[in-house]
C-alpha cells in the first residue's frame, strides 16, 4: 500500500503546538536541534515509504507460521527488520552509554508512528525492544545492562514482555509461573505465558524475554511477583551465544489482524533466568516497560488511522460516482458526506497525534529536569493517549471502509486490514477500560491537581485568543470549564461511581484536549488557512460530544447495579 510520511505535520506540531522547544532547550536533549530533528524525520520517512510500506500486504496475506518449533516470519520481514536496525531506529531514545542516540521520546514517537503506518505488524517488534531497553536501564544490574542492552540496541537481539497467563488476564497477580533459585545466582523459570507479541522470529540471533514469576517466598497477588530476564539462547559473559534455554513456542495465535506479527504461547520448563530489579518488586519494574508500551500502543492507533486516512483519501479522489450540487472533479470526494468523513478523519488524526506527542514531551521534560509536575503530567496523559489514540485508529479505519463503500468490504482493496490490525490496540497493554479506571483512580490520587493544571492552561490559552477566534476560543474555554466541574465532582465520588463513568470521562478529556491543540494550530497559522479550517471541523463538529460524555461521567454506578445478573441475561 502506498504511504506518504506526514513530515510537515510532525514538524508543525513540534514547532508550534506541543512545546518541543522546551525539550530541545534542556541540557540532556540539547542535540535535538532543528536540523537533527528534520534529518531524522526525513530519513525515517524514506525508510517507511520505500522499505516498510511494501511489506504491509504481504504480512497480512502470508502470516507468520510455526514449523517444527521454528517461527517462520512473513516474506520480506527479515530485510525490513535489517533496514530498521541498520538505520538505528530501534535505539533513538536509548542511552548513549550503551550505543543509543539518547534523543527525546517525542522524536522516537514520531518515527514509531511512521513505521506503524507503513507496516504495523513489523513495527511491533522494535516497539517491544524499546520498552525492554528502558526497563533494563532503570532496573537491571550493571552486569545485565552491559550484557543485554548493547545487543538489543544493535538489533542483534530483540525483546518481549511476558505477563499474561491462561488463568490470569488483566489480573496479573493471579499468575502461577514459578521461579526457583538455582544456587548460582540464576533461577529456574517454569510456567506458561500467552499473547506474547513477537515471542520468536527467524531473523535475530536471540530473543530476550522479560518474564513475571513468583519466588518461593513471594506473597500472593501482585506484591509477590518478581521480574526475570529469560533469553531464548543463554549468552556467555562476552555476549557470544551459548546453550539453548529450556523454553519453546507452543503455538501461534490465529488472529483477527496483525498477521505478520507472531503472537506466541510460550512454555518455560525450568528455563534459566536472572532477576531484574529487587525480589518481589517485579510489577514496578515491568510497569516501566508497560508505560513505554502504552505510549507506543496509543501511537500504533494513530499509525493505523493515518494509513487508513491516506488510503481512503486516495480512493475518494479517484472513484467517479454520482453527481453533486457543487462543481468538482466528479469523484466521490465532491459528495458532502464523503467530504465530512475525510475531514473528520483528518481532524481526529491531528488531535490524537498532538495528544501523543504532548505526552512524549512531558516524559522527556520529566526525564531531563526531574520535575514532579512534568512527571505527573506524563502520568496523566499516558492513559488518555493510549485510549484516545487506539479509539481513533479504530474509528478512522472503520470510516475508511465506509469511504470505500462496497469495495471497503472486499479484502483486495486493503481498507479492511487497517481495522483488523488496529482493533487489538484497545485491548492489549491494558484495555481502554483499565486505562480509564487508572485515570480516574491512581492518576487522581493527587486530588486532581495535575488535571486541574492542564485544564487551567487550556482555559488561559483559549482566553488569550478570544478576540482573534471568538467562536472557537469560547467553545474550547466553555468545554474546559465543564471538564473542570466534572473533575471536581469526580474526585469527591465513591470509587465505583468513578469507575462507572471513567471511559466517558477519559474520552471527554481527550475531546477537550484535542480541540485545545487544534486551536493552537489555528493560532500558529495566523490566517484563515487549512489548519484553521480543520480546527473548525474539530471544534464545531467533534467537541460538542464532550457534553454527553460528561453527563455519563457524572451518572454514577447505581443504575448499572440495579440490573441484576438475571436481568442482563433475560
Active-site residues: which are they? 429
Give the burial class of 70: count Cβ atoms within 10 A of its Cβ; 0-12 exposed, 13-18 middle, 19 or more buried. Answer: exposed
* Among candidate residues 384, 293, 374, 305, the one with its CA nearest the CA of residue 108: 293
Identify any residues that bridge with 241 across adjacent strands, giving them in sequence order.
235
Reading the block at residue 544, the C-alpha cell is: 460538542
| Residue 380 neighbours by CB under 8 Å, 6+ apart | 439, 443, 450, 451, 454
Distance linking the first and last C-alpha atoms of the chain: 46
Residue 244: how many other CB atoms lie within 10 Å: 12
Reading the block at residue 554, the C-alpha cell is: 457524572
* Among candidate residues 103, 116, 109, the one with its CA nearest the CA of residue 48: 116
DSSP string across 43-54: HHHHHIIIIIGG
Pairing label, strands 233-235, 241-244: antiparallel
Reading the block at residue 218, the C-alpha cell is: 513471594
In terms of phi and psi (left: phi > 0; alpha: psi -120 to 50; beta: otherwise), the region of 556 is left
Instruction: Please give the biggest Cα pair distance in the chain.
Output: 80
- Contact between 404 and 145 (Cβ < 8 Å): no
- Contact between 518 and 534 (Cβ < 8 Å): yes
Q: Which segments of 163-300 are extended strands (E)?
A: 178-181, 187-197, 206-214, 225-231, 233-235, 241-244, 247-252, 263-276
Identify any residues that bridge with 189 across adjacent strands, giving them in sequence order.
179, 271
Exposure string for 323-356, b = 16+ CB within 10 A, e = fewer: ebeeeeeebbbbbeebbebbbbbbbbbbbbbbbb
Reading the block at residue 174, the C-alpha cell is: 493471579
CA separation, residue 430 to residues 50, 163, 424, 449, 557 (Å): 33, 11, 11, 24, 22
548 membership: H or E segment, kind and range: helix 545-554
529 membership: H or E segment, kind and range: none
Residue whose cell numbers read 491531528: 350
DSSP string across 81-122: HHHHHHTTGGGSSS-GGGT-----HHHHHHHHHHHHHH-HHH
Q: What are phi and psi of 32, to 5 degrees?
A: -85, 60
Amino acid at each position: 500500500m502506498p504511504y506518504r510520511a506526514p513530515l510537515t505535520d510532525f514538524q508543525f506540531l513540534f514547532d508550534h503546538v506541543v512545546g518541543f522547544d522546551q525539550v530541545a532547550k534542556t541540557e540532556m536533549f540539547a542535540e535535538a536541534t532543528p536540523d537533527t530533528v528534520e534529518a531524522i524525520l526525513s530519513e525515517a520517512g524514506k525508510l517507511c515509504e520505500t522499505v516498510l510500506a511494501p511489506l504491509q500486504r504481504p504480512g497480512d496475506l502470508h502470516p507468520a507460521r510455526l514449523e517444527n518449533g521454528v517461527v517462520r516470519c512473513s516474506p520480506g520481514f527479515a530485510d525490513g527488520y535489517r533496514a530498521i536496525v541498520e538505520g538505528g531506529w530501534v535505539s533513538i531514545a536509548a542511552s548513549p552509554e550503551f550505543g543509543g542516540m539518547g534523543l527525546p521520546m517525542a522524536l522516537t514517537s514520531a518515527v514509531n508512528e511512521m513505521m506503524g503506518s507503513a507496516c504495523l505488524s513489523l513495527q511491533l517488534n522494535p516497539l517491544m525492544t524499546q520498552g525492554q531497553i528502558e526497563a533494563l536501564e532503570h532496573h537491571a544490574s550493571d552486569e545485565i545492562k552491559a550484557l543485554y542492552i548493547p545487543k538489543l540496541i544493535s538489533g542483534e537481539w530483540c525483546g518481549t514482555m511476558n505477563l499474561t497467563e491462561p488463568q490470569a488476564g488483566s489480573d496479573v497477580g493471579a499468575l502461577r509461573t514459578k521461579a526457583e533459585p538455582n544456587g548460582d545466582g540464576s533461577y529456574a523459570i517454569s510456567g506458561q505465558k500467552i499473547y506474547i507479541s513477537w515471542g520468536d522470529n527467524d531473523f535475530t540471533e536471540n530473543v530476550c524475554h522479560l518474564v513475571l514469576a513468583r519466588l518461593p517466598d513471594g506473597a500472593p497477588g501482585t506484591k509477590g511477583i518478581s521480574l526475570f530476564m529469560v533469553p531464548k539462547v543463554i549468552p556467555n559473559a562476552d555476549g557470544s551465544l551459548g546453550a539453548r534455554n529450556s523454553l519453546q513456542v507452543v503455538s501461534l495465535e490465529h488472529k483477527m489482524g496483525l498477521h505478520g506479527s507472531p503472537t506466541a504461547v510460550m512454555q518455560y520448563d525450568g528455563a534459566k533466568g536472572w532477576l531484574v530489579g529487587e525480589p518481589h518488586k517485579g510489577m514496578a519494574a515491568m510497569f516501566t516497560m508497560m508505560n513505554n508500551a502504552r505510549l507506543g500502543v496509543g501511537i500504533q492507533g494513530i499509525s493505523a488511522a493515518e494509513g487508513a486516512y491516506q488510503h481512503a483519501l486516495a480512493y475518494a479522489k479517484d472513484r467517479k460516482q454520482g453527481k453533486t450540487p457543487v462543481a468538482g472533479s466528479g469523484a466521490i470526494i465532491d459528495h458532502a458526506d464523503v467530504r465530512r468523513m475525510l475531514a473528520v478523519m483528518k481532524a481526529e488524526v491531528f488531535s490524537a497525534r498532538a495528544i501523543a506527542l504532548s505526552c512524549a514531551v512531558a516524559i522527556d521534560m520529566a526525564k531531563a529536569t526531574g520535575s514532579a509536575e512534568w512527571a505527573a503530567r506524563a502520568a496523566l496523559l499516558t492513559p488518555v493517549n493510549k485510549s484516545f489514540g487506539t479509539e481513533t485508529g479504530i474509528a478512522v479505519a472503520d470510516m475508511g471502509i465506509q469511504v470505500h463503500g462496497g469495495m471497503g468490504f472486499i479484502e483486495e482493496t486493503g481498507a479492511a486490514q487497517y481495522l483488523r490490525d488496529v482493533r487489538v490496540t484497545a485491548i492489549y497493554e491494558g484495555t481502554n477500560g483499565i486505562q480509564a479506571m487508572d485515570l480516574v483512580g491512581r492518576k487522581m490520587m493527587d486530588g486532581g491537581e495535575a488535571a486541574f493544571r492542564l485544564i487551567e492552561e487550556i482555559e488561559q490559552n483559549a482566553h488569550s485568543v478570544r478576540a482573534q477566534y471568538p467562536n472557537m476560543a469560547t467553545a474550547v474555554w466553555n468545554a474546559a470549564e465543564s471538564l473542570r466541574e466534572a473533575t471536581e465532582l469526580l474526585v469527591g465520588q465513591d470509587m465505583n461511581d468513578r469507575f462507572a463513568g471513567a471511559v466517558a470521562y477519559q474520552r471527554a478529556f481527550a475531546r477537550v484536549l484535542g480541540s485545545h491543540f487544534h486551536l493552537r494550530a489555528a493560532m500558529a497559522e495566523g490566517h484563515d488557512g487549512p489548519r484553521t479550517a480543520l480546527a473548525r471541523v474539530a471544534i464545531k463538529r467533534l467537541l460538542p460530544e464532550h457534553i454527553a460524555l460528561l453527563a455519563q461521567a457524572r451518572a454514577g454506578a447505581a443504575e448499572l447495579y440495579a440490573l441484576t445478573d438475571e436481568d442482563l441475561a433475560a
